[in-house]
Chains A and B, each alone.
Chain A
């Protein structure tokens, strides 16, 4: 009984700690639905903390290539994310017409992009800290770093 309790405590504690660590930054959510023949339907939920962690396992060669590809955008992205963190709940862009709605906003420290159109729906929710982590890691692998 004692051994079972210890094992349960150890397992439970590990699960909770791993879960809390993985979920501490929230979830990256991507939903894409294209309403036409052959249209894509993508629904992706990934713990935000898992992405920078997973990037550590990407071979350096590929990280360098990605960094080089994104070289021009990285400083801009870094500056935008750093500034957006100061505005956790703001609608930056709203476009509405009879059929379509586009929103770019921050909500609870997450970047939220919503596109609702008759032929497609796109919803992206990504914690700003996750974008910052990714850009930082890519910057670390840039040729000049």
Chain B
């Protein structure tokens, strides 16, 4: 090989080596810049996924706040993988579908087939209790007035979710089916608890962040 060619190849090889060694820096720079962009994208977007949110705000001295955001699809996929104690394949075993001698299945069937209305209304000096079926939702409302610091609990469950929960075989609650039914529901508040110290909210929407 002639001297000019040898020099040319040597320079080319050195430049190529330098380029190869420096190229990861470019990749690192790109990867360092990339996450915020994707982060913004995910936090601002409202996806078609359904999210279950839990928020607990405590107004005591420590001022604790808990926020949990779970995609229902994730819960649906993960639950069947858990096989522990009474939980198998996304279903929970219950003893003879009887709790304190109450036939839950019969009770649910009765509620399902009955028209909208109030099933239980208790009003006393200590507390008010209301159990009703309204717009295909089972509503339980409890107002505790026992002491000066009132507490209020409201649970609102779509009937379709309750149906799905009891859709498994006898003595089983189908959690996955219930979650699936829940994901078909619109934005809704499921549980609300308020007392003098804590506020608890469980709700469903399409956002991947809490308010």
- Choose among A6, A9, A26 the residue with the greatest number of B CB atoms under 10 Å from its CB: A9
Q: How far is the CB of A26 from chain B (nearest CB, A)?
A: 8
Interface segment, one of A49-57, A59-67, A73-81, A115-123: A73-81
Q: Tell me whether A93 and B27 are in contact (CB under 8 A).
A: no
> Interface size on A (CB < 8 Å)?
41
Category for how many chain B residues contact A? 35 or more
Assembled-state Cα–Cα distance A91/B18 (Å): 41
Q: Which residues of B contact A (CB under 8 A)?
A: 1, 6-7, 9-11, 13-14, 16-18, 20-21, 23-24, 27, 31, 34-35, 38-39, 41-43, 58, 61-71, 73-74, 77-78, 80-84, 208-209
Assembled-state Cα–Cα distance A1/B68 (Å): 63
Known interface pairs A20-B24, A91-B67, A91-B209; A83-B73 also in contact (CB < 8 Å):
yes
Q: Tell me whether A108 and B34 are in contact (CB under 8 A).
A: yes
Q: Mark A94-109, 1 if CB is under 8 A from B, else 0.
A: 1111110000000110
A39 touches B (CB below 8 Å): no
Q: Which residues of A contact B (CB under 8 A)?
A: 1-2, 4-6, 8-9, 11-13, 15-16, 19-20, 23, 26, 72, 75-76, 78-80, 82-84, 86-99, 107-108
Q: Tell me whether B63 and A23 are in contact (CB under 8 A).
A: no
Report chain B residues within 8 Å CB of A79.
Answer: 77-78, 80-81
Assembled-state Cα–Cα distance A55/B126 (Å): 63
Q: How far is the CB of B56 from chain A (nearest CB, A)?
A: 9
Q: Which of A12, A13, A93 contacts B67 (CB 8 A)?
A: A93
Known interface pairs A84-B74, A90-B69, A90-B208; A5-B9 also in contact (CB < 8 Å):
yes
Q: Tell me whether B10 and A2 are in contact (CB under 8 A).
A: yes
Report chain A residues within 8 Å CB of B74.
Answer: 80, 83-84, 86-87
